[in-house]
């Protein structure tokens, strides 16, 4: 799973609010222009985002491999027919474009996650939503970013332990049940430990977050975000 990695790329040096604006504008444009031409332009923008983050598309796709089967199966299932010719390409055309649109949006989001520390994301959310609701939302964002990666690591360790005990020779249903049970048990344990740690540290509703400041390098990226929003509306 894509997680934050320290670096000195252009995307790392951008203000998180700028990157969130680009994400929102890109998603709006991708939804508004689900055509081959529109998706070709979105593909170029996604490639620029991945390049700015120095994130390989193959590496991002490998991290998102759990999502790929659903994106591939959706158009295939839509195109199936109960009789000859058994598969209708025209029926699968629109779902295929929609699946590709989702893939592009996820890739741009992966570039954001790769280049943005959790605390900066919290600060950006708290700036966007003022007051206590913003602080609660920022806290939730921070917990999700930190906790999901830990749970994924727990699942990988459980799977390796099961394989070491020849669990891979069990039927598929048994492997799924064992892995799900172990993952749920570890998740509940992690949640209890997190709750205890938060109480022990007297969780603050107004934590000290890093200051945010827009710089000259943010100007052209914000212009890109405005352009994407304008293109989505037009």
Helix segments in the chain, DSSP class H: 10-13, 16-32, 36-53, 57-63, 68-79, 89-115, 118-128, 131-164, 172-200, 218-233
Q: What's the mean pLDDT when you consider all of the chain? A: 84
* Alpha carbons 52 and 49: distance in angstroms, whole number: 5
Rounded percentage of the chain residues whose pLDDT exceeds 90: 32
Q: Could you tell me which of 54, 65, 29, 2 has the C-alpha nearest to residue 229?
A: 29
Longest dimension (CA), the chain: 66
Whether the pLDDT of residue 203 is over 80: the answer is no
Residue 138 has pLDDT above 90, yes or no: no
Give Rg (Cα) of the chain: 21
Q: CA 72, CA 214: separation in Å to the nearest integer?
A: 39
Say which residue, 27 or 65, is predicted with more confidence.
27
Long-range contacts of 219-222 (CB under 8 A, 24+ apart): 221/14, 221/18, 221/19, 221/22, 222/18, 222/21
Query: What sign results for the dihedral spanned by CA atoms 220, 223, 228, 231?
Result: negative
Is the pLDDT assigned to residue 202 strictly greater than 70?
no
Name the more confident of 147 and 32.
32
Q: What is the model's pLDDT at position 50?
A: 93
Rounded Cα gap, residues 175 and 169, in angstroms? 9
Other beta carbons within 10 Å of 66 = 9
Q: What is the pLDDT of residues 169-181, one digit of tens each?
A: 778 788 888 778 8
Is residue 116 within 8 Å of 5, Cβ to Cβ? no
**100-108 mean pLDDT:** 93
Q: How far apart are CA 20 and CA 62, in angstroms?
A: 23
Taking the mean position of all CA atoms in its chain, how far away is CA 13? Answer: 20
């Amino acid at each position: 799973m894509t997680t934050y990695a320290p670096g000195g790329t252009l995307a790392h040096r951008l203000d998180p609010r700028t990157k969130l604006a680009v994400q929102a504008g890109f998603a709006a444009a991708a939804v508004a222009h689900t055509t081959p031409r529109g998706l070709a332009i979105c593909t170029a923008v996604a490639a620029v985002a991945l390049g700015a983050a120095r994130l390989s598309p193959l590496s991002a796709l490998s991290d998102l491999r759990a999502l790929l089967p659903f994106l591939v199966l959706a158009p295939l299932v839509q195109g199936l027919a109960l009789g000859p010719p058994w598969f209708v390409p025209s029926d699968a055309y629109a779902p295929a474009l929609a699946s590709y649109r989702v893939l592009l949006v996820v890739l741009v989001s992966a570039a954001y996650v790769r280049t943005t520390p959790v605390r900066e994301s919290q600060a950006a959310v708290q700036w966007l939503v003022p007051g206590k609701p913003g602080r609660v939302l920022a806290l939730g964002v921070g917990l999700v970013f930190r906790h999901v990666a830990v749970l994924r690591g727990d699942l990988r360790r459980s799977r390796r332990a099961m394989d070491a005990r020849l669990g891979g020779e069990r039927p598929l249903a048994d492997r799924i049940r064992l892995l799900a049970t172990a993952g749920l048990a570890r998740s509940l344990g992690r949640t209890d430990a997190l709750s205890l740690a938060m109480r022990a540290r007297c969780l603050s509703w107004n934590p000290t977050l890093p200051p945010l400041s827009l710089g000259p390098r943010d100007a052209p990226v914000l212009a890109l975000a405005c352009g994407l929003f304008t293109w989505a509306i037009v």
